[in-house]
Amino acid sequence: MTLDYRLDGPDAADVLVLANSLGTTQELWTRQLPALTKRFRVLTYEHPGHGRSPLPEQPATVEAFTLDLLDLLDELDLDRVSFCGVSLGRVVLSCTSAYLGPPEGWHDRAHVVRAEGMDAIADTVVGRWFTTQASDDEPELVGRFRSILVSTPPEGYARCCEAIADWDARERIADIAAPVLVVAGADDPATPLEHAELIASRIPGARLRVLERAAHLANVERAEAFTEAVLEHLGQEVPA
């Protein structure tokens, strides 16, 4: 597996990996990159079956996605990184969950996109990504992310759904030893606040930051507040 990636920022700076959400591309981080690439060497990449990353022959699992990323880090000779999404160094877990069951819903979604294409789920999914206020204030932005979702290869998206269906890390996250910041959107229907609270409660020393007026793509909708939270957690000075 060879993942499509970009590496931007000063060569000598610490490395920060940014991982996309299901159905998005590296464009997800557009609003963070100006601030982050001043301080970090930032690695963005596409999940298998998304963007220009090829679809693997074997069934998709979260563990396989992790190994693909580790292979990429080895290929780039990156021994230690911080991760906005899990790896070595400091960790930021944003709008996520240790368990996104029940699995039947994910298998149903995979079946729908294979049978009917991405348009069949686009309005529902994008409705979870942004608040109504964001849709009213920035319709072009919301439309752009809908286009990104619809352009995702259905088979790549479906396999990721099946990987999520089998994922349950509620017990294993207690083993995370790196300093962790958990970021949640207060109005996120995809991974509600209680999911973030569970993660923060089970990882020793984890801190929880809730962004008001934000749904699932909180880093897009509340870009400045999100970036400030990440910089603070990574020990960087926040711009005045």
- Mind listing the pLDDT tens digit for each residue in 79-120? 999 999 633 357 999 999 999 989 999 999 999 999 999 999
Residue 121 lies in a domain: no
Which candidate, 25, 41, 53, 45, places its Cα nearest to that of 79? 41
- Determine, yes or no, domain membership for 42: yes
Q: How many domains does the chain have?
A: 1
- 196 within a domain of the structure (yes/no): yes
Residue 124 lies in a domain: no
Q: Which residues of the chain carry a pLDDT beneath 70? A: 1, 85-89, 239-240
The DSSP call for residue 99 is B
Of 124, 93, 127, nearest to 201 (Cα)? Answer: 93
CATH, residue 38: 3.40.50.1820
- Residue 123, in any domain of the structure: no
Distant-in-sequence, close-in-space partners of 199: CB < 8 Å, separation ≥ 6: 93, 96, 97, 98, 173, 180, 182, 206
pTM of the model: 0.88
For the chain, the straight-line distance linking the first and the last C-alpha, in angstroms and rounded, comes to 42
Q: Which domain holds residue 56?
A: 5-99+169-233
Question: What tokens appear for 197 in the block?
Answer: 């609270």
- Structure tokens of 232? 């603070």
For residue 40, is it within any domain? yes
